[in-house]
């Protein structure tokens, strides 16, 4: 069964350092999403791609976060510099149809010390 691949699984960093997360969506899924999930809460959308184009990044803190999906397949989410409040699970998801039946990866658990 096809899955959304994410790496690394865990990341520990110090504040002010740069971190990057990688995601490979399910083959054929044009829409890719990055969500952030704080413990005990539901995921919140950071950025949504349709192929290589950003269609929604209204909740992305653009002063420190950036995301790209250069060839419309895999994607990278970067934080620079990391802050203590960025500690969370970062989830990547993909879907065939916009906004429907999202499939999630296992996430990257980020701890900023």
Partner 1 sequence: GESVGLHLPTLSVQEGDNSIINCAYSNSASDYFIWYKQESGKGPQFIIDIRSNMDKRQGQRVTVLLNKTVKHLSLQIAATQPGDSAVYFCAERPIGGTSYGKLTFGQGTILTVHP
Q: What are phi and psi of 33, to 5 degrees?
A: -130, 145
Residues 8-67 that bind partner 1 (CB under 8 A): 40-45, 48, 56, 58
Q: How many CB atoms lie within 10 A of CB 46?
A: 20
Residues 77-96 that bind partner 1 (CB under 8 A): 91, 93
Contact 64, 83 (CB under 8 A): yes
Q: How far is the CB of 81 from partner 1 (least distance, A)?
A: 26
Residues that bind partner 1 (CB under 8 A): 4, 6, 40-45, 48, 56, 58, 91, 93, 98-107, 109
């Amino acid at each position: 069964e096809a899955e959304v691949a994410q790496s690394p699984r865990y990341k520990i960093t110090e504040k002010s350092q740069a971190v990057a997360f990688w995601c490979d969506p399910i083959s054929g899924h044009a829409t890719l999403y990055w969500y952030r999930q704080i413990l005990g809460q539901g995921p919140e959308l950071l950025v949504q791609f349709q192929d290589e184009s950003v269609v929604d990044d209204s909740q992305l803190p653009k002063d420190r976060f950036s995301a790209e999906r250069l060839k419309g397949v895999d994607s990278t989410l970067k934080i620079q510099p990391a802050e203590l409040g960025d500690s969370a699970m970062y989830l990547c998801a993909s879907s065939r149809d916009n906004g429907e039946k999202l499939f999630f990866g296992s996430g990257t658990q980020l701890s900023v010390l």
